[in-house]
Copies of this chain bind each other. A is one copy, B any other.
Amino acid sequence: MTSSTLHKSRSAERALHLLDAVVTAGSISLGDAAKSLDLPTSTALRHLKALEHDGYLDRDTHGMFSVGPTFLRLALTSLREGPAAHLTTAARPHLDRLAEATGESAYLAVRERSRAVYIATAESTRAIRHVGWVGRTVPLKGTAVGATLTGDGEPAVLRNTGSVEPDVAAAVAPVIGPDGTVIAAISVLGPSSRLDDSSTDTVTTAVLAAAESLSHDLRGPK
């Protein structure tokens, strides 16, 4: 085993990354998949075929790879059972209330390595609103969610750095798990034109309150 990979397993890691590439692309050819991981096609093909063999991937008549039923099963299971489901279920009512109170879209985000993933949402009902970020990731560095998830900066700051997309402003607050650490973040995202100074107080308070009551729910589930 060489230097940096003392605790990993190359082929497994490659297979997983290939799976990631396919899921992210939706549908991808052998060549493109191999290229995206900088692998020889023969190696990529072996892995992709293995994944297909186990049902994690499907392959259409043109040789394109896409997600298969096994992965779908795992995806569905992981989202309706397990700790993640518990978290999103617990968060749902708070997100709904928050979206209603602020008139903007509310999101729940967790940390993934050096990024934040949005895993649940309650959408604003307004015509112009923030939508479709569920499943999406943003960097931890330079974002309000990132700062909150890493424990930096005060909670619920209203920011408009435009770091990810222009004209998007955010108010974020940390969700504290039973063990006292930050396990997620609740954020309200909307157009910076609406989330300006005049609305700061109400939005900030609402987000903080939502995050706090969710944290409370998680501490004493019953």
Q: Which of B16, B23, B51, B80 is in CB contact (< 8 Å) with A78?
A: B23
Contact A13 B134 (CB under 8 A): no
- Cβ–Cβ contact B78 & A71, under 8 A: yes
Per-position contact with B for A71-112: 1 when CB-CB < 8 Å, else 0?
Answer: 111111111111110000000000000000000000000111
Contacts of A26 in B (CB 8 A): 81-83
A1-21 near B? 1/0 per residue, CB < 8 Å? 000000111011111100110
Given contacts A74-B20, A110-B69, A112-B70, contact A47 B81 (CB under 8 A): no
**Residues 55-74 of chain A, each 1 if its beta carbon lies under 8 Å from chain B, else 0:** 11010010000111111111
Chief secondary structure at chain A's binding surface: helix
Q: Once the chains are docked, how many angstroms separate the CA of A113 from the CA of B15?
A: 19
List of B residues within 8 angstroms of A76 by Cβ: 75, 79, 117, 119, 134-135
Give Cα A18 to B67, complex, Å.
19
23 A-B pairs in the complex with CB atoms less than 8 angstroms apart: A7-B50, A9-B50, A12-B12, A12-B15, A12-B50, A13-B54, A16-B54, A16-B56, A20-B70, A23-B82, A24-B74, A26-B83, A66-B82, A67-B83, A67-B84, A72-B78, A72-B79, A72-B117, A75-B79, A76-B119, A76-B134, A76-B135, A77-B135
Q: Write the residues of chain A forming the contact surface with B, with a CB cutoff of 8 angstroms.
A: 7-9, 11-16, 19-20, 23-24, 26-27, 46-47, 49-51, 53-56, 58, 61, 66-84, 110-113, 117, 119, 134-135, 137, 179
